[in-house]
C-alpha cells in the first residue's frame, strides 16, 4: 500500500503518481536507441485440479536484457464458479481478461494525462463481457463463437480539466493501450505441445 | 486449498477434479434450454495512483439470472515495474492477459480430458508475449502496433493416454477456450465515457 506515500510525493514533476521527468527521459532514451523498446512478458501456469490452476509471473525482458528488479513472483489463482463446474478458487479466466483490459486502459490514460499536464481526481471503470457458452461447450458452434461476443467498458473520470479534455485523455488511453489493441484486433498465438 | 480433498474425491465420476456427472447433466440442460447458456462476466476497476489500480470481481449473470454464489469479491491489483514507471504493485496488464490465456486453455483442456475419459497427471504451460513499446508509447506507430506482436504458449502435458491422445486433448482445449478465441480473433470493445 504505497498510496499515501505516492500522493504526498505528488509535486510538480510527479503528476497522478507518475514521475513525468523520468517519463520524458524514458521517451527520449527510446527515441535515441529504439532497440531498448523490445519487451517480452511471460507467465508460467500449473494445473492443480479441475478448474483450479495457478500462474506465477516474475521475470521479463526489457531494455536489451533480463529484468531483475522483482525479488518475488506474483502468484495468480484461477478457478470457475460452481455453475461452471469449479470450486471458485479464483476469478475465472474470462474475468481475468476483463481485468487486464481495465487495468491497461486505466494506466494508459493516467500516463497520458500526466504527460498532458492533466491532474486526475478519480478513474473508475465497469466492464461487461457477453458470452453464450453454447460455442465454447461445442453445443452450437455454428451460431456462437467461443469467445466474448462483445465487451462494454464504461469509464467515469474526473480531474482538473474540462470534460472534453478528460474525454480526450480517455481516447488516448484506449488508443495506446497494449491490452485494448491486443483484444480489439487480436494477436497470433502459437501453441507448442510436449506430451509425455 | 481444496487440492487434497478434490484428489481424494477423484473416483469414477470425478475425473481430473471435474465431476463428469454434473458436467454431462449441464450439457444436457443447455441442449434442452439453450437460453441458460447466456453469461455476462464483469469487473470493476478503480485507479489508485500512477500505474497502481485495482479490480474487484464478484457478480455475474448466468442461467437466466444473477449468480449469488460468491459471498466475497476477488481483488486484483495491477501495477508496472520501475522500468515502466510503476512501483510493481502487481503484475502488469499485459502479464495478466497471458495469465488469462494460460488459465483458460488449461481449464478447457482439463474439462475436455475429463469428458473423454483421459486422466491427466500434470499440465504446465509457459507463455511469452513479444511487444515493442514504440507503438504504445506513440514513438513509432507506423512500424509497431500497440498490442502484442505474437504470443507463444508451450504446454507440457502428461496422463494415462498415448501422446497423440494428449495432443488431441490440448487441441480441443485451445479450440474451445473462451480467452484463446477472444485474443486470437479479437472482440469488439465499446467504450462509454462519463467525464465529470
Nearest to B81 among A43, A69, A107 (CB): A69
Residue B3: the pLDDT is: 44
For residue B64, the distance in angstroms to the closest alpha carbon of chain A comes to: 12
Of A52, A67, A99, which Cα lies nearest the Cα of B86?
A67
Examine the pLDDT at B6 and tell me if it is beyond 70.
Answer: no
Percentage of chain B surpassing pLDDT 90? 93
Residues of B whose CB is below 8 A from A111: 51, 85
- Partnered with residue A195 across adjacent β-strands are B157
Distance CA B177, CA A146 (A): 6
Among chain A residues, CA nearest to B44: A126
Taking 3-state DSSP, the helix, strand and coil percentages for chain A, each rounded to the nearest 5, stand at: 35, 30, 35
Give the residue from A187, A188, A190, A196 with the most B CB atoms within 10 Å of its CB, the best one to mutate: A187
Partner-chain contact B78 A107, CB within 8 Å = yes
Contact call for B188 and A184, based on CB within 8 A:
yes
Percent of chain A with pLDDT over 70: 94
Give the pLDDT confidence of A133-169 residue by residue, as tens digits. Answer: 999 999 999 999 999 999 999 999 999 999 999 999 9
- When pLDDT is averaged across residues A88-95 and rounded to a whole number, the result is 98
Residue with cell 500434470: B122
| Cα–Cα distance measured from residue A106 to residue A84, given in angstroms and rounded to the nearest whole number | 30
Q: What burial class does residue B50 get, using C-beta atoms within 10 Å of its C-beta: 0-12 exposed, 13-18 middle, 19+ buried?
A: buried
B30, B102, B103: best mutation site toward chain A, by most A Cβ within 10 Å?
Answer: B103
DSSP A129: E
- Residue A9 neighbours by CB under 8 Å, 6+ apart: A17
- The Cα of A79 is separated from the nearest Cα of chain B by a number of Å equal to 8
Alpha-helical regions (H) of chain A: 3-8, 20-32, 93-115, 163-176, 178-185
The three-point CA angle B160-B166-B169 to 5° equals 120
CA–CA separation, A162 vs A27, rounded Å?
Answer: 27
Asked if B183 lies within 8 A of A175 by C-beta distance, the reply is no
- Band (pLDDT 50/70/90 cuts) for residue A171 is very high
Beta-strand pair B18-19/B52-57: unpaired
Over residues B17-22, the mean pLDDT reads 96
The pLDDT value given to residue B36: 97
> To the nearest whole number, what is the mean pLDDT of chain B?
94
Count of CB contacts below 8 A, A vs B?
Answer: 511
User: What's the mean pLDDT in B140-151?
Assistant: 97
DSSP character at residue B118: P
Average pLDDT, chain A: 94
Report CA-CA distances (Å) from B112 to B168, B177, B190: 10, 10, 32
Q: What is the pLDDT of residue A12?
A: 66
pLDDT digits (tens, 9 = 90+) for B28-50: 999 999 999 999 999 999 999 99
| Mean per-residue pLDDT, A21-37 | 96
Closest of B195, B70, B180, B170 to residue B113, by C-alpha: B170
Q: How many residues does chain B have?
A: 196
What is the pTM (predicted TM-score) of this model? 0.94
Q: Is the pLDDT of residue B78 over 60?
A: yes
Helix, strand, or coil here: A102?
helix
Residue with the three cell numbers 524514458: A26
**What Rg value do the Cα atoms of chain B yield, rounded?**
20
* Furthest C-alpha separation in chain A: 60
3-class DSSP state of A53 = strand
Using CA atoms, how far apart are residues A20 and B134, in angstroms rounded to an integer? 18
Q: Which residue of A has its CA nearest to B133?
A: A37
Confidence check: pLDDT of B80 > 90: yes
- Tell if the CB–CB gap between A49 and B6 is shorter than 8 Å: yes
Per-residue pLDDT at B8:
43
pLDDT of residue B11: 53
| pLDDT computed for residue A2 by the predictor | 42
pLDDT of residue B87: 97
Which of residues B14 and A8 earns the better pLDDT score? Answer: B14
CB-CB neighbors (< 8 A) of B100 in chain A: 93-94, 96-97, 99-100
Question: Mind listing the pLDDT tens digit for each residue in B93-124?
Answer: 999 999 999 999 999 999 999 999 999 999 99
Amino acid at each position: 500500500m504505497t498510496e499515501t506515500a505516492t500522493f504526498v510525493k505528488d509535486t510538480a514533476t510527479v503528476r497522478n503518481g507518475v514521475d513525468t521527468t523520468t517519463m520524458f527521459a524514458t521517451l527520449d532514451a527510446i527515441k535515441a536507441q529504439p532497440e531498448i523498446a523490445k519487451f517480452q512478458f511471460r507467465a508460467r501456469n500449473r494445473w492443480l485440479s479441475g478448474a483450479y490452476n495457478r500462474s506465477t509471473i516474475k521475470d521479463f525482458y526489457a531494455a536489451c536484457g533480463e529484468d531483475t528488479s522483482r525479488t518475488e513472483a506474483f502468484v495468480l489463482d484461477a478457478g470457475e464458479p460452481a455453475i461452471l463446474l469449479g470450486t471458485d478458487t479464483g476469478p475465472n479466466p474470462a474475468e481475468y481478461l476483463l481485468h487486464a483490459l481495465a487495468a491497461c486502459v486505466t494506466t494508459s490514460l493516467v500516463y497520458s494525462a500526466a504527460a498532458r499536464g492533466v491532474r486526475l481526481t478519480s478513474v473508475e471503470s465497469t466492464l461487461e463481457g457477453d458470452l453464450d457458452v453454447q460455442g465454447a461447450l461445442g453445443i452450437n458452434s455454428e451460431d456462437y463463437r467461443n469467445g466474448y461476443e462483445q465487451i462494454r467498458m464504461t469509464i467515469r473520470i474526473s480531474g482538473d480539466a474540462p470534460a472534453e479534455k478528460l474525454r480526450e485523455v480517455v481516447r488516448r488511453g484506449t488508443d495506446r493501450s497494449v491490452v485494448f489493441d491486443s483484444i480489439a484486433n487480436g494477436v497470433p498465438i502459437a501453441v507448442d505441445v510436449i506430451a509425455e
